[in-house]
Homo-oligomer: A and B are copies of this chain.
Amino acid sequence: MNPSTSFSTRSQAMGPSAIRQVLKFTGMPDVISFAGGLPAPELFPISELRRAADAVLRDDGVASLQYDASEGHLPLRQWICAHLDRTVGIQAAPDRVLITNGSQQGLDLVAKVLIDPGDIVLVENPAYIGALQAFRAYEADIVGLPMDEEGVRIDALGEFLRTSRRRPKLLYLTTNFQNPTGLTTSAERRRHVAALAAEFRLPVLEDDPYGELRYSGPNIRAIGSIPEARDWLYLGTSSKILSPGMRVAWLVVANPQFYERLTLAKQSADLHTSSFTQRLVWQFVSQSELYDAHIERLRAAYVRRRDVMLASLSAHLPEGSSWTRPAGGLFLWLSLPQWQDSTELLQECIAQKVAFVPGAPFWVGRDVRNTLRLNFSNASEERIEDGIARLGRAAEAALV
């Protein structure tokens, strides 16, 4: 071994991931885990995918095994365009859609193409850990903006843009059922963000992995659908609506030069996303009856799990705790009494065989200890009830 290998500055910025540590527990079968963001395993459409995989290899075998274009499989990109038009009001041509290996690669490529060391990226506070990790890997200076029930606070965004000496490179938002808080950016807030970003020529990256998993209320159109929006990017994925194991997501890019640079960065990063999994995802999602029925099944199961979790929290959590009531997605966000530390609570919970992700690493530039993230998509209703009761007992014990 060579102890003297000197790594890049950016490599020093990629610390060990907090989630990575916690996920070690989630594989243990006797631990009830609310830690990951994993879809319900029993709802994977395995037999449909067996048929789809066979059809792809039978009908399009050579192309699904050969090298492919960096932009991605054209029929899949065409389906994505029609789908976004129908669901979030985005109108884009397939030549503005780049297929990536999951949303995480979309975040990585955007950062790679935009960020020089020290450049400012604006995020919601708290924000998705994976995005923070991707931006930090390019040595971004990440600034967290406070949120309220309607999303990122527009007064804070406006003040930052008006007073900052350095122009930020990007505003990153998860507008539907945000990870980690479960909060949704309102339609009005989206319009204000679009207008303000256009005024200050700020590119906006809207990350929307959960948008189709809405359990109540009407769909809200994406920022990219708002006429005032200028330099927007939209990130969607098949991970939560079909299977994260496929690693098929899509980045839609308003600015053609930005798209071209992202495509070159994709080529340099890994040439292209799997020709086979792209065709397999397309084979499934383009059968609209199959797809719609599957989404309905997910919604029906997840809304019940969310409701069981909310009811269990009310029943078992000691006074002084509060939590969000997300209209969709996979997560809710729990605030313990101010003086409690969720990382310490996790130790007690692991003894009780229940796990969650402490909130601290989601916060940017703020030392907040009393929050934590709970996932409700992966465990059964029974295990959710049981797990929240254990969490309640641990929180109760911590009060003593």
Q: How far is the CA of A275 from the CA of B275 in the complex (A)?
A: 14
Measured between beta carbons, the chain B residues less than 8 angstroms from A254 are 1
Question: Which of A243, A254, A255 is most buried by chain B, counting CB atoms within 10 A of its CB?
Answer: A243
Interface size class of A (residues with CB under 8 A): 35 or more
Measured between beta carbons, the chain B residues less than 8 angstroms from A275 are 244-245
Among B8, B46, B114, B270, which residue has its beta carbon within 8 angstroms of that of A116? B8
Measured between beta carbons, the chain B residues less than 8 angstroms from A291 are none
Among B5, B38, B130, B258, which residue has its beta carbon within 8 angstroms of that of A255? B5
Measured between beta carbons, the chain B residues less than 8 angstroms from A230 are 1-2
The yes or no answer to A299 lying at the interface (CB within 8 A) is no
Q: How far is the CA of A134 from the CA of B127 in the complex (A)?
A: 30
Q: Is the CB of B1 within 8 A of A256?
A: yes
Residue of B nearest to A42 (CB): B62
Among B36, B66, B244, which residue has its beta carbon within 8 angstroms of that of A244? B66
- B-facing residues in A90-107 (Cβ within 8 Å): 100-102, 104-105
Residue of B nearest to A37 (CB): B67
Q: How far is the CA of A5 from the CA of B36 in the complex (A)?
A: 35
Stretch of A10-18, A211-219, A313-321, A385-393 that contacts chain B? A10-18
What are the interface flags for A45-63 relative to B under an 8 Å C-beta threshold, 1 for contact and 0 otherwise? Answer: 0100110011001100111
The yes or no answer to A21 lying at the interface (CB within 8 A) is no
Q: How far is the CA of A120 from the CA of B168 in the complex (A)?
A: 31
Q: How far is the CA of A63 from the CA of B38 in the complex (A)?
A: 11
The yes or no answer to A177 lying at the interface (CB within 8 A) is no
The yes or no answer to A231 lying at the interface (CB within 8 A) is yes
Q: Is the CB of B261 within 8 A of A274?
A: no
Residue of B nearest to A136 (CB): B268
Q: Is the CB of A66 within 8 A of B2?
A: no
Question: Which of A54, A58, A100, A244 is most buried by chain B, counting CB atoms within 10 A of its CB?
Answer: A244
Asked whether A104 and B58 contact (CB < 8 A) given A66-B243, A230-B1, the answer is no
Least Cβ–Cβ distance between A280 and chain B, in angstroms:
8
Residue of B nearest to A68 (CB): B245
Least Cβ–Cβ distance between A224 and chain B, in angstroms:
13
Measured between beta carbons, the chain B residues less than 8 angstroms from A101 are 101, 247, 270, 273-274
Among B2, B8, B36, which residue has its beta carbon within 8 angstroms of that of A138? B8
The yes or no answer to A84 lying at the interface (CB within 8 A) is no
What are the interface flags for A106-124 relative to B under an 8 Å C-beta threshold, 1 for contact and 0 otherwise? Answer: 0010001111100100000
Q: Is the CB of B137 within 8 A of A112?
A: yes
Measured between beta carbons, the chain B residues less than 8 angstroms from A261 are 7, 11, 14
Q: Is the CB of A246 within 8 A of B113?
A: no
In the complex, besides A8-B113, A42-B62, 8 extra interface pairs with C-beta distance below 8 angstroms are A1-B255, A5-B114, A5-B257, A14-B261, A44-B61, A50-B57, A245-B276, A276-B277
Q: What are 20 A-B contacts defined by CB distance under 8 Å?
A: A2-B231, A2-B255, A4-B201, A6-B169, A8-B115, A10-B112, A11-B114, A14-B261, A36-B67, A46-B62, A50-B53, A50-B58, A65-B243, A65-B244, A65-B245, A66-B243, A104-B270, A134-B269, A247-B271, A276-B280
